[in-house]
């Protein structure tokens, strides 16, 4: 029996772990970069805005953190417009082995660079960062342990740091829930991981995109059962830490935002909004092709129809469109997104 956080870490990143042995997201779940080119096009538009705000420096970075198969990094490299193409340095960061077949011009590494001037995007990275899994018992939050068959046991009460995090970000302990078990995941490791990435941005923008919840969701009881889940070959499955499947939990992006503000110095503007709003801001809108195109240019019609379907998937409020975009603008004189929304930092 291991603490869930450790079991999760070993199951994904330990010897022969799910990601460590080179399993790719495209075999198991569908992320925005895998939907089609529209997501990368939006990221290139954002990179162009960042580059403009930086005054088009001699070198501008694009960093894809938790790059998986590197699809986003590769598309950004290939789609960069000529005014960017010879200045952009594209880096894909992943702890897992890089793909055997790589696009020239994408540098792979296992840790985020420490000095970035440009744009960092972490798409569905933080949900794969293991964190403490907790259950409320006897009026206290306790850690949950698990064996490799998925059988759980209740362990020790949480330490002071986790207790403080729960008190601020998941303060549901005193609410009765009709006898049902209250569970939670503490975001402390995600807060640390994201703060460390943003700290490396000297000037530019850092974006974490993920399925998420906010304090209001937690207070309203929408995640009372916790969000830990497994994914295997496109299906949601039980979270069993045996290395066979991806393990994931939604991200408290509002807590990550506050951690960055507490831990990163310098001028910083932070926004927490949705993918749907950001993509509209970046010009990704759905346009169904005209039926008459099918007669004159059937392949053109098919391309346009596929793109329109992809945009619908990327912006669907119940799916990828509802994903959180946590955006930090670091030392930038002008805003790069109009779709600001409310600041998550109080």
Where along the sequence are the contacts to ligand SAM (CB under 6 A)?
A: 19, 25, 31, 33-34, 66-68, 93-96, 123-125, 128-129
Residue nearer to ligand SAM on the CB measure, 66 or 204: 66
Burial class of 308 by CB neighbour count within 10 A (0 to 12, 13 to 18, 19+) = middle
Residue nearer to ligand SAM on the CB measure, 123 or 270: 123
The Cβ-side half-sphere exposure at 262, using a 13 Å CA radius, reads 11
Question: To the nearest whole angstrom, how small is the minimum distance from the Cβ of residue 204 to ligand SAM?
Answer: 19
d(CA 223, CA 230): 16
Residue nearer to ligand SAM on the CB measure, 34 or 304: 34
Question: To the nearest whole angstrom, how small is the minimum distance from the Cβ of residue 125 to ligand SAM?
Answer: 5
Distances (CA, A) of 178 to 154, 175, 182, 183: 20, 9, 10, 14
CB closest to ligand SAM, residue no: 68
Question: To the nearest whole angstrom, how small is the minimum distance from the Cβ of residue 339 to ligand SAM?
Answer: 21
Residue nearer to ligand SAM on the CB measure, 21 or 140: 21
Question: To the nearest whole angstrom, how small is the minimum distance from the Cβ of residue 288 to ligand SAM?
Answer: 26
**Cβ atoms of 68 and 31 closer than 8 Å:** yes
Residue 66, classed as helix, strand or coil, is coil
d(CA 163, CA 169): 10
φ/ψ bin of 22: left (φ > 0), alpha (ψ from -120 to 50), beta (otherwise): left
Question: To the nearest whole angstrom, how small is the minimum distance from the Cβ of residue 49 to ligand SAM?
Answer: 21
Residue nearer to ligand SAM on the CB measure, 124 or 224: 124
Residue nearer to ligand SAM on the CB measure, 33 or 344: 33
What DSSP element (H or E) covers 261?
helix 253-263
**Cβ atoms of 53 and 47 closer than 8 Å:** no
Q: Point out which residues pair with 246 in neighbouring strands.
A: 231
What DSSP element (H or E) covers 77?
helix 71-79
Question: To the nearest whole angstrom, how small is the minimum distance from the Cβ of residue 258 to ligand SAM?
Answer: 21
Question: To the nearest whole angstrom, how small is the minimum distance from the Cβ of residue 176 to ligand SAM?
Answer: 35
Question: To the nearest whole angstrom, how small is the minimum distance from the Cβ of residue 333 to ligand SAM?
Answer: 29
What are the φ and ψ backbone dihedral angles of 145, each rounded to 5 degrees? -105, 165
Look at residues 46, 91, 84, 86 and name the one whose alpha carbon lies nearest to residue 70.
91
What is the edge-to-edge ordering of all strands in the sheet holding 229-232?
235-237, 229-232, 246-248
Rounded to 5°, the CA angle 311-123-61 comes to 105
Residue nearer to ligand SAM on the CB measure, 54 or 73: 73
Residue nearer to ligand SAM on the CB measure, 128 or 311: 128
């Amino acid at each position: 029996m291991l603490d869930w956080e450790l079991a999760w870490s070993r199951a994904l990143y330990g010897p022969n772990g799910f990601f460590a042995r080179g399993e790719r997201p495209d075999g198991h779940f569908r992320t925005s970069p895998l939907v089609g080119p529209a997501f990368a096009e939006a990221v290139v538009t954002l990179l162009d805005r960042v580059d403009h705000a930086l005054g088009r420096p001699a070198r501008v970075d694009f960093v894809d953190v938790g790059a998986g198969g590197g699809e986003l990094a590769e598309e950004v490299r290939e789609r960069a417009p000529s005014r960017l193409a010879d200045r952009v340095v594209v880096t894909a960061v992943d702890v897992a082995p890089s793909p055997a077949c790589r696009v020239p011009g994408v540098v792979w590494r296992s840790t985020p660079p420490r000095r970035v001037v440009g744009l960092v995007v972490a798409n569905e990275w933080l949900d794969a960062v293991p964190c403490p899994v907790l259950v409320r018992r006897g009026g206290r939050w306790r850690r949950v342990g698990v064996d490799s068959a998925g059988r759980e046991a209740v362990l020790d009460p949480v330490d002071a740091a986790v207790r403080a995090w729960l008190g601020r970000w998941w303060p549901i302990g005193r609410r009765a829930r009709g006898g049902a078990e209250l569970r939670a995941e503490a975001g402390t490791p995600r807060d640390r991981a994201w703060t460390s990435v943003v700290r490396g941005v000297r000037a530019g923008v850092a974006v974490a995109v993920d399925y998420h919840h906010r304090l209001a969701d937690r207070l309203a009881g929408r995640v009372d059962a916790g969000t830990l889940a497994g994914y295997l070959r496109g299906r949601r499955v039980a979270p069993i830490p045996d290395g066979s499947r991806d393990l994931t939990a939604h991200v408290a992006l509002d807590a990550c935002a506050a951690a960055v503000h507490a831990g990163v110095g310098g001028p910083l503007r932070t926004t927490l909004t949705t993918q749907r709003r950001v993509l509209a801001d970046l010009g990704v809108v759905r346009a169904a092709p005209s039926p008459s195109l099918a007669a004159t240019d059937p392949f053109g019609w098919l391309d346009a129809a596929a793109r329109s379907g992809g945009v619908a998937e990327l912006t669907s409020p119940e799916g990828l469109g509802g994903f959180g975009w946590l955006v930090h603008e670091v030392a930038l004189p002008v805003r790069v997104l109009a779709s600001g929304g409310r600041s998550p930092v109080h």
